[in-house]
Structure 1
């Protein structure tokens, strides 16, 4: 079990066991992480995940609270999680991304301009160890869109734009529930950038295949579990 998953489970147990009730404020981060035996970074990611599905309400400058936990609130928020685990069309979209995006990267390695290369570098350098998951996914989308643009094929670009926009939620959820998501994505982007910069078509294609396969593999494993 990933560390973040363990943190989510521990908070859920506190709620189910009555230690935390609807409307209660969570203890300060340092105190709660020590009580649960978890790192503060793992706890922080768990809180982000539970905020996303409306179990927790993070109030900036005030604290983190358990929501009302009313059924309609949780049902609305959990709809996309159900979609990830039950809708095979998401997996099919990811399969198509895995087929098409490496080709775009291969073309980009041959056709990219210096201006496009500079923008790719800026996109990579904008990500740091402190980047949060939703911002990371925004940078990921930008990085891939620049590669698609550099491929110089408008039809391929239109297809990939549509595919990417329909897999954003899966990418966010994977990032929130897997450890080291930011560093992993940053390392992969840097390797892809290096291959495109050097004009290595086959390496660029192989690296993008592995990069895109990450979300697909995670989703298949989650669906099977």
Structure 2
């Protein structure tokens, strides 16, 4: 077993140990995420990521509306070279050790990109405004065509980072998108989601961010970006839920600093 560094990997390893010890046998249904989260004293988002990890390893199978079932034991997995995770998707992918959990990644983006949008509102030029319009139009066309491409989405976020005129910040955002695009965890999460209507809501979020940037309103830009990525987290969590169609609140604490003094 490789060194485990990420929280979801530690939890995933704990569940693997429970399967190996016979607490859960092949064919058994795992307890609901909420129960596992309470047992292991972590958030449901971490449990979701741990189960995605076990899906990639082909130790469990997710049945929408039913639950998560054990389909292999860890010893079976380790003895089957054909179950290498990189065979499940084409192209270069993150290794197990390097792959950040999708909700952990979104939290990092939320913290970083909300402040990037705030700063970008003070630095944005007509050129970036034009490019943001192009990104929104590309996003609309992809939605109308029923495309699964996220090119317009990616372009929108990267152009905002570039609007800061700070290459370090733009490189950080580009790196997060590159990690997302090659992430096995992210791809496995999206395999659970069939309804793409949520992307229309994300486009509306982008339009609110764009208007704040056009007005050069840093507070509004920060708040709009923060809320957008909160919406992304909540939507992906809801749509990928297999245990309970209801959602029990924010995945993470809301913004730790008061954004405005007015009520």
The TM-score, its normalising length taken from structure 1, stands at: 0.55
The ranges of structure 1 where at least 4 consecutive aligned residues each deviate by more than 6 angstroms after the TM superposition are none
Match of 2:144 in 1: 130
Q: 1:199 offset after TM fit, Å?
A: 0.8
Q: Output the CA distance in 1 between the equivalents of 2:130 and 2:161.
A: 15
Whether the 8 Å contact between 1:105 and 1:204 is mirrored in structure 2 is yes
Say whether 1:150 aligns with 2:167: no
* Farther off after superposition, 137-146 or 148-157: 148-157
Q: Output the CA distance in 1 between the equivalents of 2:131 and 2:125.
A: 10
Q: Output the CA distance in 2 between the equivalents of 1:140 and 1:134.
A: 11
Matches within 5 A, 1:94-133: 94-126=106-138, 127-128=140-141, 129-133=143-147
Given the alignment, which residue of 107, 121, 140 partners 2:153? 140
Cα distance, 1:214–1:78 mapped onto 2, change above 3 Å: farther
Q: Output the CA distance in 1 between the equivalents of 2:191 and 2:120.
A: 27
SS in 1 for 2:128: helix
SS in 2 for 1:134: coil
Q: Is there any run of 5+ residues in structure 1 with no aligned partner, and where?
A: 1-71
* Farther off after superposition, 141-150 or 122-131: 122-131
SS in 2 for 1:101: helix
Q: 1:131 offset after TM fit, Å?
A: 3.5
Q: 1:223 offset after TM fit, Å?
A: 6.6
Given the alignment, which residue of 209, 218, 240 partners 1:192? 209
Structure with the higher fraction of residues in helix conformation = 1
- The Cα offsets for residues 146-168 of structure 1, whole Å up to 9 and x where unpaired, read as 00000122222222211122224
Please tell me the root mean square deviation across aligned C-alpha atoms, in Å: 3.4
Whether the 8 Å contact between 1:131 and 1:182 is mirrored in structure 2 is no
Q: How many residues align?
A: 149
Q: Output the CA distance in 2 between the equivalents of 1:208 and 1:198.
A: 15
Cα distance, 1:78–1:154 mapped onto 2, change above 3 Å: closer
Bigger relative contact order (CA 8 A; separation at least 6): 1
Cα distance, 1:214–1:101 mapped onto 2, change above 3 Å: same
Matches within 5 A, 1:88-99: 89-99=101-111
The TM-score, its normalising length taken from structure 2, stands at: 0.48
Q: 1:217 offset after TM fit, Å?
A: 2.6
Q: Is there any run of 5+ residues in structure 2 with no aligned partner, and where?
A: 1-81, 244-263
